[in-house]
Amino acid sequence: MLNKIADTADQKWAWALLFGSALILELVALYFQYGMDLKPCIMCIYQRTAVFGVLFAALLPLLKNNIITRTIAYIGWGISAIWGMLIAIEHVDIQTASNPFFVSCEIVPNFPAFLPLHTMLPNIFAATGDCGNIDWEFLGMSMPQWMIVVFTLYSLAFLMVIASRLITRRFWDLFTFLQIFKK
């Protein structure tokens, strides 16, 4: 079973599945924003950025599936999934705070100065909503609660792949790549 999971991580179709799921989430987010006129808050934008992180991480092995791109993809996937989950949890805490006057979120996204996404692509990364508002629910859960589920699934899948590769001794893709040059 672990060998099968470890082998799957080398296949392009697995990375295509990860890429496709992130792309669908981004398209749904844009539909909510423009089709349903739901205004994304700063925490929504950070979660959107984390989903883009998963999307771009999965894109690397799709373009060129080798040891280096997979290693970079693992790093990007893991950081994006876990960071997104933490942001979603914080967002739920803001929405469910017993005293909303003491809980707030930023107004302008805190992107790095060299990559101000909110000014470069304002239609995707500008925050216009309030973090405390619950404007949408499905099955009794708000959007950030659903994003906790999504990011938890991404994180669990990442951890399963990493654990299977560690156990089957196929994790160190980059290390293996570097060993080629020593021969």
In whole angstroms, what is the distance from residue 85 CA to residue 65 CA? Answer: 27
Q: Is 36 left (phi over 0), alpha (psi -120 to 50) or beta?
A: alpha
Is residue 77 a contact partner of residue 18, using CB atoms and an 8 Å limit? Answer: yes
Output phi, psi for 138, to 5 deg. -140, 125
Q: Quick check: is 131 catalytic?
A: yes
Q: Quick check: is 170 catalytic?
A: no
> Six-digit token pair at 12?
């392009």
Q: Quick check: is 169 catalytic?
A: no
Active-site hit among 44, 70, 165, 169? 44
Cβ-based neighbours of 46, under 8 Å, separated by 6 or more: 84, 87, 109
Active-site hit among 41, 165, 169, 170? 41
Q: Hunting for tokens 């994790």 — which residue is that? A: 171
Q: Quick check: is 44 catalytic?
A: yes
Q: Quick check: is 41 catalytic?
A: yes
Which residues are designated catalytic? 41, 44, 48, 105, 131
